[in-house]
Amino acid sequence: MNAAVNPGGLDALFRPRSIAVIGASDDPRKIGGRPIRYMLEAQSQVKVYPVNPTRPQVQGLTAYPTATAIPERVDQAIIAVPARQAEAAVADACAAGVRSIVMFSAGFAEAGEEGAAAQARMMKMIRDAGARLLGPNAMGSFNTAERIFSTFSTAMDRGTPAVGRVGMVSQSGAVGSYLQNLVISRGMAISKFVATGNEADVQAAECLEWMALDPDTDVLMLYMEGCRNGPALIRALRMARQMRKPVIVFKAGRTEAGQSVAASHTGALAGSVQVFDTVLREAGAWSCQTLTEMVDVAYACAQGRLPPDKTLAIVTVSGGVGVMSTDAAMEAGIELPPVSEATLAEIQKELPLAVGLNPVDTTAQTVGDRAMLTRAVERVLRDRPFGSAMLFFANAGRNARDMEILSEPLRALRAEFPLTQLALCVQTTPEYRKQLEDLGYLIFEDPVFCVKALAAAAELSAVRRRPLMLPELAKIALLTLAHSPDEAQSKEILARAGLRFARESVAATPDEAVAAAEAMGYPVVIKVLSAEIGHKSEVGGVALNLTNEDAVRAAFARVTDNAGRAVPEAEIRGVTVGQMITGGIQTIIGGHRDPTFGPIVMFGLGGIYTEVLKDTVLRTAPVTHETALEMIRSIRTFAILDGARGQERADLDAIADAIVSVSQFIATQGPEVESVEINPFIALSKGGCGVDALIHVRG
Amino acid sequence: MNAAVNPGGLDALFRPRSIAVIGASDDPRKIGGRPIRYMLEAQSQVKVYPVNPTRPQVQGLTAYPTATAIPERVDQAIIAVPARQAEAAVADACAAGVRSIVMFSAGFAEAGEEGAAAQARMMKMIRDAGARLLGPNAMGSFNTAERIFSTFSTAMDRGTPAVGRVGMVSQSGAVGSYLQNLVISRGMAISKFVATGNEADVQAAECLEWMALDPDTDVLMLYMEGCRNGPALIRALRMARQMRKPVIVFKAGRTEAGQSVAASHTGALAGSVQVFDTVLREAGAWSCQTLTEMVDVAYACAQGRLPPDKTLAIVTVSGGVGVMSTDAAMEAGIELPPVSEATLAEIQKELPLAVGLNPVDTTAQTVGDRAMLTRAVERVLRDRPFGSAMLFFANAGRNARDMEILSEPLRALRAEFPLTQLALCVQTTPEYRKQLEDLGYLIFEDPVFCVKALAAAAELSAVRRRPLMLPELAKIALLTLAHSPDEAQSKEILARAGLRFARESVAATPDEAVAAAEAMGYPVVIKVLSAEIGHKSEVGGVALNLTNEDAVRAAFARVTDNAGRAVPEAEIRGVTVGQMITGGIQTIIGGHRDPTFGPIVMFGLGGIYTEVLKDTVLRTAPVTHETALEMIRSIRTFAILDGARGQERADLDAIADAIVSVSQFIATQGPEVESVEINPFIALSKGGCGVDALIHVRG
């Protein structure tokens, strides 16, 4: 491994050559005893030095009273002492010159203010010493290839894990350890594991990036509750994509109640679920809602083969399973291209009741001789190339006779179609399962889960073949404002960034308003103009459809008067006189700065659609014109823009141009520009224009 | 079992005392050999008579050349001959006087027209003989308590199943048999099983009803693709509800593609997914999307205890699992009431880092001594009553030491809280799993699945405690029309059924129109009146907001002219002159006759909401006022009626009255009344009224 693939210097965490265990216990069940026991059991080549001032030996190894007393300079210190002794242990480890500390000790930032202060003091020592800290309150890390087990995870009670190619990053130790066991029970094996706990220093995102570059890791699993560094996570996900490694993510804390539990136990902000989902989708990660789904998708990716495309063949002994699998395929977005009638006719020569072009249902006719099944599969796969195939063989993997009949034909199929991902959906025994996996087949029990996992693997594979296209930042002047501009100023600024607005003039007096209206032509709209008044219609500050001079004068008086009474402290510059736009469809285009992930652009239909249906779509900003079009097409109410109910189609390119401009604007501004909103942006059949705009600057 | 609990005479199917196997095979793997082998293995007390003209003995039993040659009158015949010999076999069985036939033979209605004709001929013979037919193309049925196995299901290869209390009904043999294996692998046992195949006679619904009344069955599982008799299914579901037996249903064919696969393999219409879901929800059945969910929910119900309410306590060794379980609980609609701060303080005396009031997170502090965990659980359960509790103990169920420590406290907890459904979420071994189940705990691996299954069981339990309230049919005159009435007639009919409409008069001439407008007061709306023209605005047949006599005259001419040109064959009666309703919110209220389930009432927001968002809700008709209110509140866009964006709240009672009236109308009419639609029904802040109405009568 060369220096370039050691981001954040995390080699010190994952690949130490020597480890001091401060708080080493002779009891192999205690958390200070477990890492020593694991490394002894694993016959690790790493040097392990127990540190325990009260015993000369720990689990048969020479113990030292302090880390500094160890005769060599050690790479890593594991700290497994009670919280009140942790600071002294850190001082000892730093004095001993370690490059990384893995801290099991808990009772710090997660336990209140006092703990947070202690954590900050330790962190300062560690930073001054130039080391990295995993934790505190961390379950630790391990590296199976080098037999390094800096962890107290009880998942090792079933033996230290075998060497594999799945990398696992979890913010929660207990979830990580549970997931580790699920993964191992599913017949997979792990390359590197880390549970990051309080993340005082080392965070999940940088571990993910390190593993994305780790030549021993092919598939990445990530469990998160909150992200402390959004850009680092985006970088890690992009790196994984570039290295063509699938990333499977479970982000917990999707509901308000779930987020509040997360906040109480980790202290991290859970952040906006919609933004998190957007970031994951953009980076081509697979987002899961259950541990089972996570394990299923990892399993479908971890056998060294990803489906070359999004087509699926289903051959089934059960018509019913064909039905539910077809439902699942449609819902998961994987295609079921039909085989030819000629192929079905061939199959029917042997199985006269066989039916369907995909799924192909062999019916119960093969109960007597399962070899007829594999011949049907062979005919299907020879018909046309498929990215994946699901073979529902029901209970056929349960008895020795079926296995005897099926093994050789399954081996031949695997050899003949080396690129196709082949999955068997069967109930089988652990022993036969292993045999079938060794033949190169994925094994699932639930046909719907099988289809979903194959679809996920196909999507992850497709994303990894597409190059990542990131738009360049436009050249837009940086705003330097002490407070939010008013509507007219906001429009001026956004017009310079490329946005179009309805014609509009500022009028300080009724006479100026009339002059503006006559220059522009009636009807006009008058809106009060004040930087302090954001929601003008709520204060009676808007008058629509004014058709003559008298109406304009009356409206001027009314809107300024209403606004002055509603917000007495507002400084009122006058009004805007604007062209009255009729027809078109109201949309909303916005941008904001997410506290975790930075600039985000938003699009949706306006008015009631935004408020009641929450039918909006987000992307990290800036976006390309193509991405903007994709955003527009992805809202649930897209049909309204696309000519539903005989209306004219909206000019999608004009909307997309406006989305791109807003995205560039929010992306190019400094952090004091918190948000921008064009509401409504009226989409017309040709062109479109903003009618109201607001830029919010932190005052 | 008394006569009252033998609906459809299905005792003949499930409880025969003697069985002839026509097409009996000496090969215990062939479908004609399997039922004999199973009953021999199971030491069945039922008399089994192999029928095989070519052998004196089959599997050691005396064989007979025909069923009529059997010395006693047999209750049941299993027919396992090729399709071309099936008719002769049926004739033989009927002549022998059987009361039920179980037909494995395939190649009938599912295989095309010729097969359908053969099936019809056999059905006639069987009906004439007064017997019942299961199949053809059926995997058969079994009854574990009486050791009757009239099936060729290969699921028996692992041994004939033990006696249990789960009843299973499947239209698909292969799905049923696969599900049977999944259920057994999960440690449950089956009472009765049936796979109904082509359903030429016996249908899934009546089997479900029979099992709902079967004293040996507590929990019902139903797999369906299409329903041939909707009212029978509704009756069966209601019977199960009345008997307080949970029904867990998987309806496959949810997508268009899935439905077309279902049609090709069963010949049954899949029917409207939305109507099916409505029927299941109304009857209090649990609808699943995967076999895994089906097994999970059945498992949560099958231990003889249903949660007394919808509260859940979560005690977890992992904060992360607390977060994901909270998300799952919120999404599944189960409550997490907090324990008191005092209870947490008690727990913290032993576990100082414990955090949260529900979930209660004990953190990793219990790794050294798992008994601390059960003491924390005890404190939580003593704090207040909980319907269910999920105890996430991670890997604690994996080693002998933990089991030794945990067994006694778990037994004590079970005894102290006999009503609470207790679930352990752990990874364990099959042996320990059994031990924990024997202590009265449910065992799950995936915490999200565990929460969902407990929520489902709580919901099934809640439904079963609520009495089923069915509204009485109103007295509404039966329509006897040869064709659909026009708008004015439709409104007249519906007004008699209790609906309110905007004021309106029919005018045959311009003069009559003007007179009507002046009597009513301007502005008015004019619409062309013709039974042949349904969508009046599409043909230019509507003129809005007419404010004087000239406008009315011009509009009369224009709408009748436009309509006449667009639909030359239409007979135009004149126009309607109506009050122009301004304001309010457009809704749509409809009724139709579903081909499977009969009268259905529908409600939704009007216009674009119906068309683009498909935001509508259905119920079987008639409905009560209360149900109508629940329908209104359940649409996604309910906020629009509830005063979103500062609008006035709509008068929900007025809408509900209209829904009730439409539901009573469609429910009381004959089958020739296909549908009724009030579109729009304008919901006002006080009251509401229909503006357009159409009754569709089959011509």
pLDDT tens across A20-73, in order? 999 999 999 899 999 999 999 999 999 999 999 999 999 999 999 999 999 999
Strand segments, DSSP code E, in B174-243 are 190-195, 219-224
Tell whether the model's pLDDT for residue B5 goes beyond 70.
no
Do A266 and B355 lie within an 8 Å CB cutoff? no
Neighbours of A125 (CB within 10 A): 17
Other Cβ atoms less than 10 A from the Cβ of B237: the count is 24
The pLDDT of B273-289, averaged and rounded, is 94
- φ/ψ of A251, rounded to 5, equals -105, 110
CA separation for the pair B459, B451 (Å, rounded): 12
Q: Would you tell me which residues 340-359 of chain B have a C-beta closer than 8 angstroms to some C-beta of chain A?
A: 352-353, 355-356, 359
CA pair distance A222, B551, nearest whole angstrom = 69
- Looking at domain B312-465, its CATH class is alpha beta
> A585-697 has which fold?
D-amino Acid Aminotransferase; Chain A, domain 1 (3.30.470)
Q: Does A107 touch chain B (CB under 8 A)?
A: yes
pLDDT of amino acid B647: 73
Sign of CA dihedral A49, A54, A56, A60: negative
Phi, psi of A306 (to 5 degrees): -115, 145
Q: What is the value of ipTM here, to two decimals?
A: 0.92
Share of chain A above pLDDT 90, in %: 79
Helix %, strand %, coil % for chain A, to 5?
Answer: 40, 20, 35
What's the average model confidence in pLDDT over B475-490?
Answer: 87
| pTM passes above 0.80 | yes
Question: Would you state the pLDDT for residue B269?
Answer: 60
Mean pLDDT, rounded, for B543-563: 92
- Name, of A323-337, B155-169, B612-626, the range with top average pLDDT: A323-337
Does position B532 have pLDDT exceeding 90, yes or no? no
Q: Where are the beta strands (DSSP E) in A549-692?
A: 574-579, 585-594, 598-605, 616-620, 673-683, 688-690
Structure tokens belonging to residue A248: 């499977």
**Confidence category of residue A607, pLDDT binned at 50, 70, 90:** confident
Do the bridges between strand B616-620 and strand B598-605 make them parallel or antiparallel, or are there none, so unpaired?
antiparallel
Give the dihedral sign, CA A535/A539/A544/A547. Answer: negative
Give the gap in angstroms from C-alpha B449 to the nearest C-alpha of chain A: 8
Could you report the per-residue pLDDT of B575-591, keeping only the tens digit for each?
Answer: 999 998 888 899 999 99
Domain boundaries, chain B: 3-301, 312-465, 505-511+520-577, 585-697
Q: Which of residues 288-317 of B touch A (CB under 8 A)?
A: 289-292, 316-317
A175 touches chain B (CB under 8 A): yes
CA distance A164 to A161: 9
User: For the domain B505-511+520-577, what is the CATH code?
Assistant: 3.30.1490.20
Distance from the A356 Cα atom to the nearest Cα atom in chain B, whole angstroms: 7
Helix axes B256-266, A319-332, angle to 10 degrees: 170
Q: Tell if the CB–CB gap between B264 and A644 is shorter than 8 Å.
A: no
The yes-or-no verdict on residue A358 having pLDDT over 50 is yes
Query: Per-residue pLDDT tens for B185-220?
Result: 999 999 999 999 999 999 999 999 999 999 999 999
Q: Do B336 and A171 touch (CB under 8 A)?
A: no
Residues 518-537 of A with CB under 8 A from B: none
pLDDT bin (cut points 50, 70, 90) of residue A130 is: very high
pLDDT higher for B371 or A8? B371
Contact B163, B137 (CB under 8 A): no
Ranges A300-314, A473-487, B63-77, B514-528: which has the least confidence: A473-487
How far is the alpha carbon of A5 from chain B, nearest alpha carbon, in Å? 30
- Please identify among residues 639-678 of chain A the ones whose CB lies closer than 8 Å to any CB of chain B: 639-640, 644-645
Q: For B308-362, list the strands marked E by DSSP.
A: 312-316, 360-361
pLDDT confidence tier of residue A266, bands split at 50, 70 and 90: low
Q: What is the mean pLDDT of residues B280-304?
A: 95
Average pLDDT over residues A411-415: 97
Which residue in chain A is spatially nearest to B322 when comparing CA positions? A261
pLDDT for the residue numbered A269: 60
Q: What does pLDDT average to over chain A?
A: 92
Q: Is the pLDDT confidence value at B6 over 80?
A: no
Out of B154, B321, B613, name the one closest to residue A175 (CB).
B321
CA distances in angstroms from B540 to B245, B567, B608, listed in the order given: 56, 11, 20
Smallest CA–CA distance from A646 into chain B, residue: B538
Q: Find, among A291, A253, A449, A287, the residue nearest to B425 by Cα.
A: A291
Between chains, do B644 and A612 touch, taking CB under 8 Å as contact?
yes
Share of chain B above pLDDT 70, in %: 98
Q: What residues in A contact B359, CB-CB < 8 Å?
A: 261
**Residues 573 to 612 of B: which have CB under 8 A from any A CB?**
607-608, 611-612
Q: Taking the domain A3-301, which CATH number applies?
A: 3.40.50.261
Task: Give the pLDDT band of residue A267 (cuts 50, 70, 90).
Answer: low
pLDDT band at residue A1 under the 50/70/90 scheme: very low
pLDDT over 90 at A465, yes or no: no
Q: How far is A494 from chain B (nearest CA, A)?
A: 27
Tell me the pLDDT tens digit for each residue of A218-232.
Answer: 999 999 998 989 999
Q: Nearest to residue B146, comparing CAs of B1, B283, B42, B236? A: B42
**B329 vs A259: CA distance, rounded Å:** 13
Q: Are strands A247-251 and A286-288 parallel, antiparallel or unpaired?
A: parallel
Q: Do A363 and B106 touch (CB under 8 A)?
A: yes
Listed residue (A643, A673, A504) closest to A574, CA to CA:
A504
| pLDDT at position A296 over 80 | yes
> Which pLDDT score is estimated for A644?
79
**CATH fold label, A503-579:** Dna Ligase; domain 1 (3.30.1490)
Angle at A66 between CA A62 and CA A67, to 5 degrees: 85
Average pLDDT score over chain B: 92
Test the B interface: residue of A110, A277, A327, A432 with most B CBs within 10 Å? A327
Cβ partners under 8 Å of residue B408, min gap 6? none
Residue B1 is predicted with a pLDDT of 39
Same fold, B312-465 and B585-697: no
Q: Which residue among B185, B395, B612 places its CB closest to the CB of A639?
A: B612
Which pLDDT tens digit goes with each residue over B379-411? 999 999 999 999 999 987 788 888 899 999 999
Q: In terms of Cα–Cα distance, which of A290, A267, A175 is closest to B316?
A: A175
Start-to-end CA distance of chain B, whole Å, equals 49
What is residue B3's predicted lDDT score, i.e. its pLDDT? 40
